[in-house]
Amino acid sequence: MVAETIDSFRLDGHLAVVTGASRGLGEGCALALAGAGADVALIGRNHEDLNAVAGQIGDLGRTAHILTIDVTELETLTAALSGLPPFEIFVNNAGTNQPQPFLEVEEKTYDRLMDLNLRAAFFAAQSAARLMVKYAKGGTIINMSSQAGHRALKDRSVYSASKFGLEGLTKAMAFELAEYNIRVNAVAPTFVETPLTKSGLEQKDFRQYVEGKIRLPRLGRISDVAAAVLFLASPASTLITGTSLLVDGGWTIH
């Protein structure tokens, strides 16, 4: 029984696709999936960074496919996904943030965040799901959400709107794709020390605010989020769909 449980986290023989894979959470997720035995297709805009991640995957004895594309360019993304070998794991991770007080949000800020965090995520997931249906092997799609998709956060109205939308999309996709044995879940992290959050967390007042809201005695780590993604990608979670796995240290329980 113990060996069977451990084996259920293995991904040998599978190909996983990770968007926003050049650094931060995407890089961490890609390496975790490769560590569990999967080959990984890396999607991002910076070829040099993707190549560095691919090198680490090669060191793990797995194969990496590098797709240097912008996920907001939907036709290019769809063509790139169609050119891959059949895959059963899709990590919809690409996203960004630009904090602004609600009364000061500019249209360009709104458009930029919603275009990447929700519109591109929607159509990337749709392209992946269409291919999974075509392959007829089932699959798992993991949307990278945020605790901001569950709670209001100061100066993050647009980001929260995009992540609340992604949470709703996750449930709607899970409902419609279940008949194809495609599971859809979200992972919703708290503040994690990544290149995207580095400048904010270096501000003393903001860091104290974050540390005061997380009930457990530390900030999130990339490895915390990668472990949650690995679980939802693996056979260990085959009866889980339409849910959001909060990796928030207890932020949202109070």
Q: Is the dihedral of CA 141, 144, 146, 149 positive or negative?
A: negative
Round the average pLDDT of the chain to a whole number and report it.
Answer: 96
Across 12-46, b (16+ Cβ under 10 Å) vs e yields eebbbbbbbbbbbbbbbbbbbbbbbbbbbbbbbee
pLDDT tens figures, 106-152: 999 999 999 999 999 999 999 999 999 999 999 999 999 999 999 99
Catalytic residue status for 159 = yes
Determine the residue type at 40: V
Claim: this prediction has a pTM higher than 0.85: yes
Complete domains list, the chain, with CATH: 2-243 (3.40.50.720)
pLDDT tens figures, 50-60: 999 999 999 99
Confidence of residue 174 (pLDDT cuts 50, 70, 90): very high
User: Which of 149, 155, 62 has the alpha carbon at shortest distance from 42?
Assistant: 62
- Catalytic position from the list 110, 159, 180, 209: 159
Confidence of residue 5 (pLDDT cuts 50, 70, 90): low
pLDDT tens figures, 225-244: 999 999 999 999 999 999 99
Residues 213-217, mean pLDDT to the nearest whole number: 95
Structure tokens, 128: 């992946």
pLDDT on residue 7: 83
